[in-house]
Structure 1
Amino acid sequence: MHGGGVVTGVGGSWRTPLLMALVVLVGVAAFGWPFLASPGSELGQMGHTNDASFLFVGLMTLMALVLLAEMSSGGVDAKTVAVLGVLAAAGGALRVLSAGTAGLEPMFFLLVVAGRALGARLGFMLGALALLASAFLTAGIGPWTPFQMIAAGWVCMGAGMLPRASGRAERWLLAAYGLFCGLAYGVVMNLWFWPFMGDSAPAGAGYLPDAGAATNLGHYAVFYVTTSLAWDLPRGLLTAVLTLLASGSLLRALRRSLRRARFDAVGEFADAR
Structure 2
Amino acid sequence: MARLRFPLIVAVALFLTGLALTAALKDRHYMLLSLLLLGAALLPVFLRLERRKLESRELVLLAVLSAIAAVSRIPFAALPSVKPVSALVILSAYVFGAEAGFIIGAVAALVSNIYFGQGPWTPWQMFAWGMAGLSAGWLRNSWWMKKRGGMLLFGFLWGFLFGWIMNIWYIISLPEAFSWGLVMTAYASSFYFDLAHALSNVFFLAILAGGWTGVLQRFRRKYGLLQD
Tell me whether the two structures share a fold, i.e. TM-score over 0.5.
yes
Cα distance, 1:163 vs. partner?
5.1
1:180 corresponds to? 157
Q: Percent identity?
A: 22
Distance 1:243 1:264 in 2: 22
Secondary structure at the residue paired with 1:103? coil
Partner SS state of residue 198, structure 1:
coil
Matches within 5 A, 1:212-251: 216=180, 219-225=182-188, 227-251=189-213
C-alpha spacing 1:67/1:154, structure 2 compared with 1 (3 Å): same
Moved more, 68-77 or 232-241: 68-77
8 Å contact kept, 1:31–1:191: no
TM-score by length of 1: 0.73
SS at structure 2 position matched to 1:193: helix
1-structure distance, mates of 2:138, 2:92: 12
Aligned equivalents of 2:112, 2:53: Cα separation in 1: 27
Name the one with the larger helix percent.
2
Structure 1 SS opposite 2:158: helix
Give 1:150's aligned residue. 127
Partner of 1:129: 107
Q: Which residue number corresponds to residue 93 of structure 2?
A: 115
Gaps of 5+ in 1: 1-11, 35-42, 200-205, 209-215, 268-273
Specify the SS of the correspondent of 2:75.
Answer: helix
Report if the CA contact (8 A) 1:117-1:254 is conserved. yes
Shift of 1:28: 2.5
Residue 11 (structure 2) aligns with: 23
Larger Rg: 1 or 2?
1
Pair 1:263–1:66, CA change in 2 (3 A): closer
Q: Unmatched 5+ residue regions in structure 2?
A: none
Say if 2:132 is the partner of 1:161: no
* Distance in 2 of aligned mates of 1:88 and 1:195: 28
Deviations 1:161-180 (A, max 9, x none): 11525799522121101000
Which residue identity lines up with residue 26 of structure 1 in the other structure?
Answer: L
- What TM-score comes out, normalization by structure 2 length? 0.86
Q: 1:51, CA displacement in angstroms? A: 5.0
Structure 1 residues 91-138: Cα deviation after superposition (integer angstroms, max 9, x where no partner): 1111111116132112221111112112111110000111122112x1
Match of 1:90 in 2: 68
1:126-169 CA-partner distances (Å, limit 9, x unpaired): 00111122112x15112221221111100111111115257995
- Give every structure 1 segment of 4 or more consecutive aligned residues whose post-TM-superposition deviation is greater than 3 Å: 16-19, 29-34, 165-169
Q: Could you tell me how far apart the structure 2 residues matched to 1:59 and 1:145 are?
A: 10
Counterpart of 2:39 (choices 57, 61, 64) is 61
Q: Secondary structure at the match of 1:195?
A: helix
How many positions carry a matched residue from both structures?
A: 228
Partner AA of 1:175 in structure 2: L
